[in-house]
Amino acid sequence: MAALPARRRVQGVIRPGGPDWLLVPVEVPPGVGELAVRYGFDRPATPPGVPGNALDIGVFDERGVDAGFRGWSGGARDGFAISASGATPGYLPGPVNPGTWRLVLGPYTVAPQGLAWWAEVILGRGPAGPAFVPDPAPARAGGRGRGWYRGDLHTHTVHSDGARTPADLAAAARAAGLDFVASTEHNTASASLGWGGHAGQDLLMIDGQEVTTRDGHWLALGLAPGAVADWRYRAADGALDRVLAELHGRGGLAVAAHPCHPLPGCTWRFGYRGMDAVEVWNGPWTPDDEAALARWDRLLAAGRYLPAVGGSDAHGHDDRVGHPRTVVLADGLDRRAVLGGLAAGRCWMAASDAVDLSLEAAAAGRSAGIGERLEVAPGQEVTVRLEVRSAAGGLAELRTGAGPVLEARLAGFGVEVVGWTTTPAATAWVRAEVRRPPAAPGTPGAMVALTNPVFLGPAEVSGPAPA
221-253 pLDDT per residue, tens: 999 999 999 999 999 999 999 999 999 999 999
pLDDT tops 70 at residue 463: no
CB 62 within 8 A of CB 28: yes
Q: What's the pLDDT at 411?
A: 86
For range 74-79, the mean pLDDT:
96
What confidence score (pLDDT) does residue 176 get? 98
- Confidence at 333, pLDDT banded by 50, 70, 90: very high
User: Is the Cα dihedral 195, 201, 202, 208 positive or negative?
Assistant: positive
Position 283 confidence tier, pLDDT thresholds 50, 70, 90: very high
Centre a 10 Å sphere on the Cβ of residue 54 and count the other Cβ atoms it contains: 18
Mean pLDDT of 112-130: 94
- Give the residues across from 123 on adjacent strands: 6, 35
Mean pLDDT of the chain: 95
| Comparison of pLDDT for 126 and 298, the residue scoring more | 298
**Three-state DSSP state, 221:** strand
| Domain boundaries for CATH 2.60.40.10 within the chain | 356-456
Report CA-CA distances (Å) from 36 to 67, 188, 414. 21, 18, 58
Is residue 466 pLDDT above 70, yes or no? no
The band of 459, judged by pLDDT with boundaries at 50, 70 and 90, is confident
DSSP of 93-141: -----SEEEEEEEEEEE--TT-EEEEEEEEEE----SPPP---PPPSB-
* pLDDT in the model for residue 43: 97
Superfamily of domain 147-350: Metal-dependent hydrolases (3.20.20.140)
Record: fold of 6-124: Jelly Rolls (2.60.120)
Return d(Cα 165, Cα 133) in angstroms, integer.
19
- Looking at the chain, the domain(s) classified CATH 3.20.20.140 span 147-350
Distance CA 82, CA 97 (A): 11
The whole-number average pLDDT for the span 448-460 is: 93
Supply the pLDDT for residue 392: 86
Residue 382 CB burial class (10 angstroms; 0-12, 13-18, ≥19): buried
Q: Bigger pLDDT: 1 or 242?
A: 242
Strands 216-221, 253-256: pairing kind:
antiparallel
Which residues, listed in sequence order, are joined to residue 213 by a DSSP beta bridge? 216
Q: What confidence tier does 296 reach under pLDDT thresholds 50, 70, 90? A: very high
CATH-assigned architecture of domain 356-456: Sandwich (2.60)
pLDDT interval class at 129 (50, 70, 90): confident
Q: How far is CA 277 from the centre of its chain?
A: 10
Are 289 and 140 in contact by the 8 Å Cβ rule? The answer is no
At 465, is the pLDDT very low, low, confident or very high (cuts 50, 70, 90)?
A: low
User: In which band, very low, low, confident or very high, does the pLDDT at 373 lie, cut at 50, 70 and 90?
Assistant: very high
| pLDDT number for residue 460 | 64
Q: Where in the chain is the domain with CATH 2.60.120.380?
A: 6-124
Whether the Cβ atoms of residue 296 and residue 278 lie closer than 8 Å to each other: yes
* 3 state SS of 378: coil
Please, are residues 355 and 322 in contact by the beta-carbon 8 Å criterion?
no
Whether the pLDDT of residue 462 is over 80: the answer is no
CA-based angle 276:279:285, to the nearest 5? 165
pLDDT digits (tens, 9 = 90+) for 193-213: 999 999 999 999 999 999 999
Instruction: Report the pLDDT value the prediction gives residue 440, as an integer from 0 to 100.
Output: 85
Could you read off the pLDDT of 34-53 as tens digits, one per residue?
A: 999 999 999 999 999 999 99
Summarize pLDDT for 381-437 with one digit per residue, the tens: 999 999 999 888 899 999 999 999 999 999 877 889 999 999 999 999 999 999 999
In DSSP terms, which residues pair with 392 in a beta bridge?
A: none
CA angle 150/151/156 to nearest 5° reads 165
Tell me how many degrees the CA angle 181-250-333 measures, rounded to the nearest 5.
Answer: 35
Residues 6+ apart with CB under 8 A from 403: none
User: For residue 50, with 0-12 CB atoms within 10 Å meaning exposed, 13-18 middle and 19 or more buried, which class applies?
Assistant: exposed
Residues 362-366: what's their mean pLDDT?
96
φ, ψ of residue 246 to 5 degrees: the values are -65, -45
Which pLDDT band, with edges at 50, 70 and 90, does 319 fall under? very high
Please report the pLDDT score of residue 391 as a whole number. 87
Residues of the chain with pLDDT > 70: what percent? Answer: 98
